[in-house]
Amino acid sequence: MIEIKNLKTSIEDKKILNGLNLKINKGEVHAIMGPNGSGKSTLSYALSGKEGYDVSGEILFKKKNLLDLNTEERAQSGMFLAFQYPIEIPGVFTNNFLRTSLNSIRKAKNQKELNAIDFLKLLKEKAKSLQINQEMLSRPLNVGFSGGEKKRNEILQMALIEPEFVIMDETDSGLDIDALKIVSNGVNALRNSDRSFLIITHYQRLLNYIKPDFVHVLSNGKIVESGDWKLALELENDGYGKYLN
Amino acid sequence: MTKSEDLIKKYKENSEYTHGFVTDIETIEVPKGLSEQTIKFISKQKQEPEWMLAWRLKAYERLKKMKEPNWQKPKYPKIDYQDLYYYSAPKSLKDQPKSLDEIDPEIRKTYEKLGIPLEEQKRLSGVAVDAVFDSVSVATTFKDELKKIGVIFCSISEAIKEHPELVKKYLGSVIPLTDHYFATLNSAVFTDGSFVYIPPGVRCPMELSTYFRINASNTGQFERTLIIADKGSYVSYLEGCTAPMRDENQLHAANVELVALDDAEIKYSTVQNWYPGDKEGNGGIYNFVTKRGACRGKNSKISWTQVETGSAITWKYPSCILQGDNSQGEFYSVAITNNYQKADTGTKMIHLGKNTKSKIISKGISAGNADNTYRGLVSIHPKAKGAKNFTQCDSLLVGNKCGAHTIPYIENKNSTSDIEHEATTSKISDDQLFYCRQRGLNQEEAVSLIVNGFCKEVLQQLPMEFAVEAQKLVGISLEGSVG
């Protein structure tokens, strides 16, 4: 699905990622854990194409050079980033945004755009499984949403778009235990042999619900250790101390 | 209508001859510059009655003692009024573009983005075609229907001749001859515009639009519109067009007067998309318009909605004089400035009667190197017991080289009044754009979506079909403003 080779990023001369290598195959779920400031969020931005970063190295996404594509082209070719802090857009109704987004992606894939009626039907079905009510969808995008509502809204968008590769940036932060279960169920429902996930988190907690195939430790902009999900348990007990200088 | 039907008839009759009709027009000598002679010439060309000429000359006398105002924020080079033509004869057919291929490709691109049908594109860009004949038949059908219920909808020139009693009574009753430089200039030299009269108790069954009054095509730079809603009547009037309009005149100084009698309501919607100049700020229209409505009767209502996206400089304050008790004034505005465009716009709500209410919703969007000013006055007079006003002014900045200014004036002379003012300034953030783009929208779609969300409250006031076009226009006006 995606292969990252010697990825280096910096912002305003400050080096963040220092030669990161990672390969994720179809259907795999990888978790990246690491202390604050290790470059986890930067990795998600570098992959999704946020402007303002100097990026070098090579990223092959579905055999294409990802660095040649801009943000929307990456999204249209199947990459989805669930934001740590979903952005508020006043005046733009959530359901309208979701439809515009889905149709932009469908259009790029040469699929038929959904009309309002078909879209609402689909939206209702997806929203129900995430326990999202209609009232929330007719509010402006993320404006006045609780932390839990914002995260569920991210997962709802993921469920609508059905991307092939999902990056989840600290989706568990700010969630209570009930919301965490709802979100995890939403993610697990989308797991299949064609879809890959990269889950960025501080805590092992989320990984109890979404069991990863691999766990990596990111420190000082590099992956310093990899293992299976038991590595997450060790980290929970021992902390990140041994990876820090 | 008769005038243009005549023109078309003549054209049809003469088109078999080589130059018959065309030569006719070219031989009209139009005096240049502003003078008594010019005004007499205009009045004569339009076969106006004596009283109309006298009115124009009175305005001209007044004008000589007046000075151009200069308190506005956008400054412009001095206008040489003696170097302007004040009457433009219908364009000779051979000067008109023969086909759309002769039209500026940029303008054609915009037409396509707005989804304007081919025939309509030709009409807008002044291509000489049969489409005109279609419009005539549509317009005639409309006119017949309106006539049945007593609605008068014609050019102001026609009204001066056919309905002098109404014109005499109301023309200049809202914007007096003495008002200010550009309004007085208009009174002296106005060429054409619309006239609407809705008889008592009639609810006009359709949106009246300049679109259906085809002889509006040559109203030129000094347009004059007068709308009267008699007791208990209602009318919705649409002015302008989302498509960019071609025009060689740089100065536009229109006057629009509205009069609402007891229990009457007028809804006036404008979409203004005149040529804004090029990306470096060269050229473009100066849109210096005076628009004012009088809620003369009790329980009357006037509502202005404007979407201003064009012109190099937009300088206008559609206003309401709330004379009748319980009368209401509304002003909904979206003003978009991009590149080097400048806008200084807002409204005046003058509360004279008891329990009068006004509402102002203004959304200013500034991008590129543009400058956007909201300037408004809410004035509560001593007798306006229980008057209420609500004002909301929001500014949105796109990029970091543009400006937004809010200058609200409030004059309150009655302690029972209730005045609210809210104002915000925000910016389209990089994070918002990144979020939208991560969800598959390209940069332009993202800007359009965010800006449309920002001015939704105003766009919702537009009649349905107009609203959809206006939404697209909002996006197109801001193209290239980011990144």
Encoding tokens for residue A71? 């943000």
Which of B425, B428, B435, B471 is the best mutation test for A, with the most CBs of A within 10 A?
B435
Taking an 8 Å cut-off on Cβ atoms, the answer to whether B439 and A71 are in contact is no
Q: Which of B432, B438, B450 lies at the smallest CB-CB distance from A75? A: B438
Name the residue of chain A whose CA is nearest to B440's CA. Answer: A72
Name the residue of chain A whose CA is nearest to B457's CA. Answer: A91
Name the residue of chain B whose CA is nearest to A96's CA. Answer: B449
| CB B350, CB B474: distance < 8 Å | no
Residues of chain A found within 8 Å of residue B434, distances taken between Cβ atoms: 50-51, 71, 87
pLDDT value for B138: 53
Give the model confidence (pLDDT) of A126-154 as tens digits: 999 888 988 999 999 999 999 999 999 99
Residues of chain A found within 8 Å of residue B441, distances taken between Cβ atoms: 72, 100-101, 104
Can you give the length of chain A in residues? 245
CA distance B123 to chain A (A): 32
Interface check A60 vs B, CB under 8 A: no
pLDDT at A97 over 80: yes
Q: Which of A50, A92, A102 lies at the smallest CB-CB distance from B450? A: A92
Phi-psi domain of A8 (left: phi exceeds 0; alpha: psi -120 through 50; beta: other): beta
Residues of chain A found within 8 Å of residue B438, distances taken between Cβ atoms: 48-49, 71-72, 75, 80-81, 83
Name the residue of chain B whose CA is nearest to A92's CA. Answer: B453
CA distance B431 to chain A (A): 7
Name the residue of chain A whose CA is nearest to B426's CA. Answer: A90
Residues of chain B found within 8 Å of residue A77, distances taken between Cβ atoms: none
- Taking the CA atoms of B145, B148, B150 and B156 in sequence, report the sign of the dihedral they define: positive
pLDDT value for B128: 44
Q: What domains are there in chain A, each with its CATH number?
A: 2-243 (3.40.50.300)
Instruction: State the DSSP string of B323-335.
Output: -STT-EEEEEEEE
Q: In whole angstroms, what is the distance from residue B345 CA to residue B308 CA?
A: 9
Residue A221 is which amino acid?
Answer: G
Taking an 8 Å cut-off on Cβ atoms, the answer to whether A105 and B440 are in contact is yes
Instruction: State the DSSP string of A51-111.
Output: TT-EEEEEEEETTEEGGGS-HHHHHHTTEEEE-SSPPPEEEEEHHHHHHHHHHHHHHHTTP
pLDDT value for B204: 94
Our CA angle for B101, B104, B109, nearest 5°, is 90
pLDDT value for B256: 96
Q: Three-state SS across A198-233? A: EEEECCCHHHHHCCCCEEEEEECCEEEEEECCHHHH
pLDDT value for B115: 67
Each domain of chain B, given as residue ranges in start order, spans: 191-477
Which of B439, B442, B447, B472 is the best mutation test for A, with the most CBs of A within 10 A?
B439
Name the residue of chain B whose CA is nearest to A50's CA. Answer: B434
Q: Which of A52, A91, A161 lies at the smallest CB-CB distance from B454? A: A91
Residues of chain A found within 8 Å of residue B440, distances taken between Cβ atoms: 72, 75-76, 101-102, 104-105, 108, 161
3-state secondary structure of B221: coil
Taking an 8 Å cut-off on Cβ atoms, the answer to whether B441 and A81 are in contact is no
Our CA angle for B455, B460, B465, nearest 5°, is 120
Element spanning B458, H or E: helix B456-459
Q: Give the A window 120-149 contacts with B, CB below 8 Å.
A: 140
**Residue given tokens 């007067």 in the structure block:** B257
Interface check A101 vs B, CB under 8 A: yes
Interface check A83 vs B, CB under 8 A: yes
pLDDT value for B23: 32
Name the residue of chain B whose CA is nearest to A163's CA. Answer: B439
Q: Which of A52, A72, A161 lies at the smallest CB-CB distance from B441? A: A72
pLDDT value for A55: 93
pLDDT value for B352: 98
Taking an 8 Å cut-off on Cβ atoms, the answer to whether B449 and A97 are in contact is yes
Give the model confidence (pLDDT) of A159-217 as tens digits: 999 999 999 999 988 888 988 999 999 999 999 999 999 999 988 889 999 999 999 99
pLDDT value for B116: 67
Q: How many other β-carbons are positioned within 10 Å of the β-carbon of residue B210?
A: 19
CA distance A124 to chain B (A): 19
pLDDT value for B276: 86
Instruction: State the DSSP string of A141-179.
Output: ETTT--HHHHHHHHHHHHHHH--SEEEEESTTTT--HHH
Ordered mean pLDDT values, 10 residues apiece, chain B (483 residues): 43 34 43 88 91 97 94 89 74 58 69 67 54 46 83 91 96 95 95 92 88 44 93 93 63 94 97 85 89 98 95 95 98 95 96 98 95 96 97 94 94 96 93 96 93 92 83 83 69
